[in-house]
Amino acid sequence: MAKPIFSIIVPIYNEQEVLPETNRRLTEVFKKINEPYELIYVNDGSRDNSLSLVKGICDADKNVRLISFSRNFGHMAAITAGMDFARGDAIIVIDADLQDPPEVLPEMIKEWRNGYDVVYGKRISRKGESAFKKFTARVYYRLLRKLTNVEIPVDTGEFRLIDRKVCDAMNSLTEKNRYIRGLVSWVGFNQKAVEYVREERFAGETKYPLSKMFKLAFDGIASFSYKPLKLATGLGIFMSVAGFVYLLVVVFQRFFNVQTMTQGWASTIAFILFSQGIVLMILGIIGEYIGRIFDELKGRPIYIVKEEITAEE
């Protein structure tokens, strides 16, 4: 089998409803391009019929490869594995849910041939998503840009094409808590956006509920910014100053107006609860950073491969 020009990485986790259509549309796009390619499906510990479906696709199409994890390691780990195993000159990351249309890929490839090392998809609209999700996503991307020193494009996800040298640079990074879109921006190189309309999910359920979205959001901030720790320091100083001022007020009342000493206990309790909440929040932020340090020091692999199917087999 000829060395592929394009490696398309498709992370999958319980995507049995959408996999046949995803494979059909991706295959259709690259057959039109008519250059050697490989489709790399990374099974991230799926519990449905996704694994057997991909095995059937591998049997029918020698352009398709499978990497199957021993358990669920997460979306970022699946993308990382795909990059580790990719052999192409251009590596493409696309989710299986078809919200990012495969038909946009020829335009990305055109920009890559024009000399850009990274071509990322930028969402100009998002179909089928609630107003709350659109609003929070918009706020988060702009907050992330303000907090970090790395120029991470707004309104983007992992849908992108990267050149071989960018992939090699990414593979040299060893950190465990990976925020792929941020790392691609961090390594640099010539980058360009391709605008597109994000579609509704073709079938199945989202694999990113609100809790995972919040985790991903904090991963992005914690991986590229120390400003939350600086914010914690600022809040601590503010609470200390406020407490000292309040102490002066109490001393003043003690010497000049004794009767007021029996008043204001509700506000005192409220102030104590508020200040303790700030303290716990600061401890939580510090704990998140310490937890990341702990993860790095353990030295465990980002993922474990249970099974691999390639065309050579």
The model's pLDDT over 211-240, given as tens digits with 9 standing for 90+, comes to 666 666 666 666 666 666 666 667 667 766
User: Do 65 and 310 meet the contact criterion of CB atoms below 8 Å apart?
Assistant: yes
Q: Does the structure show a pLDDT above 50 at 305?
A: yes
Output the average pLDDT for the chain: 79
pLDDT band at 149 (very low <50, low <70, confident <90, very high): confident
Q: Cα–Cα distance between 249 and 254 in angstroms, integer? A: 9
Greatest mean pLDDT among 14-28, 174-188, 223-237: 14-28
Tell me the sheet residues that pair with 11: 42
State which CATH number among 3.90.550.10, 3.40.50.920, 3.30.565.10, 3.40.50.720 fits the domain covering 6-225+302-309. Answer: 3.90.550.10
Beta-strand pair 156-163/6-12: unpaired
Mean pLDDT, rounded, for 124-136: 68
Mean pLDDT, rounded, for 25-48: 90
Q: Which of 9-18, 39-48, 294-303 has the lowest mean pLDDT?
A: 294-303
**What share of the chain in percent tops pLDDT 70?**
70
Q: Cα–Cα distance between 181 and 157 in angstroms, integer? A: 7
Q: What was the pLDDT predicted at 112?
A: 92
In this prediction the pTM is 0.72
Greatest mean pLDDT among 104-113, 235-244, 277-286: 104-113
Q: Which residue has the higher pLDDT, 86 or 247?
A: 86
Q: What was the pLDDT predicted at 254?
A: 64
102: tokens are 């495969």
Terminal CA-CA length for the chain: 11
Q: Where are the domains of the chain?
A: 6-225+302-309, 227-298
Tabulate helix, strand, coil % of the chain (nearest 5).
55, 15, 30
Mean pLDDT, rounded, for 96-118: 90
Q: Which of 10-19, 23-32, 66-75, 120-129 has the lowest mean pLDDT?
A: 120-129
